A and B are shown apart, each in its own frame.
Chain A
Amino acid sequence: QQQVKQSPQSLIVQKGGISIINCAYENTAFDYFPWYQQFPGKGPALLIAIRPDVSEKKEGRFTISFNKSAKQFSLHIMDSQPGDSATYFCAATLEGGATNKLIFGTGTLLAVQP
């Protein structure tokens, strides 16, 4: 299986709250897990990424939590702001270290209410 399953499909969070988006994968050969952020009319942009040798990575208000045994990883957005309103995609590589074949989740539409 080469699927990456993402949930929820949409999410509404109040300003200052925590946004949590979850992804699960099946292929244990995956070795790179990026998150992308996409604003309307724009292409996806790399937000943060993690490799399976660590359980957590934090960059500013964005944190990836990774559970290798459960084959799950999640994005946490702390102190969510209206400017974070966007579609978020998780992804995984199919071949070790070579991101020529990124497999994407179906996306989560995040709305942060002021």
Chain B
Amino acid sequence: NAGVTQTPKFQVLKTGQSMTLQCAQDMNHEYMSWYRQDPGMGLRLIHYSVGAGITDQGEVPNGYNVSRSTTEDFPLRLLSAAPSQTSVYFCASSDPSQGNYGYTFGSGTRLTVV
């Protein structure tokens, strides 16, 4: 099993550009989430999904969109990049119905907006 796969690993964007961060998991987990990690602020929840076709906002959703058309994929879209979105982004999945109460994280995408 590959677990949670995130692409790309690194990305530099200009202010105003848009892009999609990809996230895929092969564990058949129902729950998937996106977090951003900033120094001194821990991990903050952007958006999450409890299953295909169902998404909801987290703590810091502004400037980001998500969709969940399949169980496996949960892409994060930046609509118009801003320097404040410079961060490391992590995708994670879990499935309590499988006895998996802890999140499995991807290796992250380091995004710089200039």
Contact = CB atoms under 8 A, between A and B. Distances in A.
B31 A100 contact: yes
Interface string B61-99: 000000000000000000000000000001010101000
A43 B90 contact: yes
Given A98-B96, A99-B96, A46 B42 contact: no
A51 to B, nearest CB: 9
Interface residues on B, range: 20 to 34
Contacts of A105: 42
Contacts of A36: 105
Interface residues of A, number: 24
Interface of A: 6, 9, 32, 34, 36, 41-46, 49, 89, 97-107
11 contacts: A42-B107, A42-B108, A43-B4, A43-B90, A45-B105, A89-B42, A101-B45, A102-B33, A103-B45, A104-B42, A104-B43
Given A101-B58, A104-B44, 9 more contacts: A6-B42, A49-B101, A49-B102, A97-B96, A98-B31, A98-B96, A101-B45, A106-B41, A107-B42
